[in-house]
Structure 1
Amino acid sequence: MNIKKYNEIAEKNKPQKQVLKHTFNAFIVGGIIGMIGEFFLNFYQKIFSFSEKEATPIMLITLILIAAILTGLGIYDRLGDFAGAGSFIPITGFSNAMTSSALEARSEGLVTGIGANIFKLGGAVITFGIVASFIVGGLRYVITYFW
């Protein structure tokens, strides 16, 4: 069989992309995660009389905890399969990635397994965040004061 005929058969039998379905799923799940965050923000403001500034970090910690628990139970991975990028809203996606790293390395022990592997991902993300913040802050400074 020649290459041209093979490519024709492969192209004809290739599964169709479901862009609209995946986009819709990501939008809905991401929106639901955002709504849950807003619920906890309002909950902490109303129940504990916190200001928005005080309630925001507590809401973020709550979302991190929920994502870590759901990852440990195997639910967040199934959610990620369904929602794709919609489940990777920065704070919950980062919590999922960190918890997954820890769970994969738990058989190696607390320090050399969980402790070492959890920071492999975290170190890269934190380093990227710091470098990106430095660059953006420098650009903002230059734009603000020299233009």
Structure 2
Amino acid sequence: MDGKSYCEYVSKTAPRTSELKTLLAAFAIGGLICMIGEGFSDLYAFLLPEAEESVRGSLTSATMIFFGALFTGFGIYDKIGGVAGAGSIVPITGFANSIASPAMEFRREGIIFGLMAKMFVIAGPVIVTGIVSSVIVGVIYRIIAIV
């Protein structure tokens, strides 16, 4: 089967999805995840009124990452992702899912060559891109500040 006939086959047999329905589901569920994060932030502001905002933000991020990894472990996050699509990937819980999922998949290959080597297969390029981008922007900012 050549490439053209394969594309025709896929277009005929692939299930049709409503783009509007998918878009609305991603928006609603992604927004709901963010609202839950805001709820944790408000909870920490109530429980820790003396804490700085950066501390409350760190606690909120850690809580959302914990629940993202926990839901991935129980198989719940995959079901959420099946409905929400990108709405479940964009929040920080999606980052936790992208680390926990490969770790679970490759754990049977051992701690070093399975878990540790494969854990950042998906998230690693995102981390590297973020670090490189921040260094470039920092250098540009510093050059502009000097001039």
TM-score normalized by structure 1? 0.81
Equivalent residue for 1:19?
Answer: 19
**One-letter amino acid of the counterpart of residue 115, structure 1:** M
Which structure: larger Rg?
1
| Runs ≥4 residues deviating over 6 A | 10-14
> Could you tell me the percent identity over the aligned residues?
42
- Tell me, in whole angstroms, the C-alpha distance in 2 between the residues paired with 1:134 and 1:71: 32
Contact 1:41-1:52 at 8 Å conserved across structures: no
Aligned partners of 2:136, 2:45: CA distance in 1, in Å? 35
Give the 3 Å change call, closer, same or farther, for CA 13–111 of structure 1 in structure 2: closer
Deviation at 1:105, TM superposition (A): 0.6
1:78 equivalent in alignment to 2:79 = yes
* CA deviation vs aligned residue, 1:25-68 (integer Å, no higher than 9, x gap): 01111111111111111101111223322100000000000000
- Residue segments in structure 1 that go unaligned for 5+ positions in a row: 1-6
What is the rounded CA distance, in whole Å, between the counterparts of 2:78 and 2:63 in structure 1?
Answer: 19
Q: Which amino acid aligns with 2:46?
A: K
> Number of matched residues?
140
Write out per-residue CA displacement over residues 48-99 of structure 1, whole angstroms, 9 at most, x where no aligned residue. Answer: 2233221000000000000000000001011001000100124111100100
Match of 2:3 in 1: none
TM-score, normalised relative to structure 2: 0.81
State which drifts further: 110-119 or 132-141.
132-141
Q: Does 1:38 align with 2:68?
A: no
Structure 2 residue runs of 5 or longer lacking an equivalent are 1-6
User: Which residue identity lines up with residue 85 of structure 1 in the other structure?
Assistant: A
Higher helix share: 1
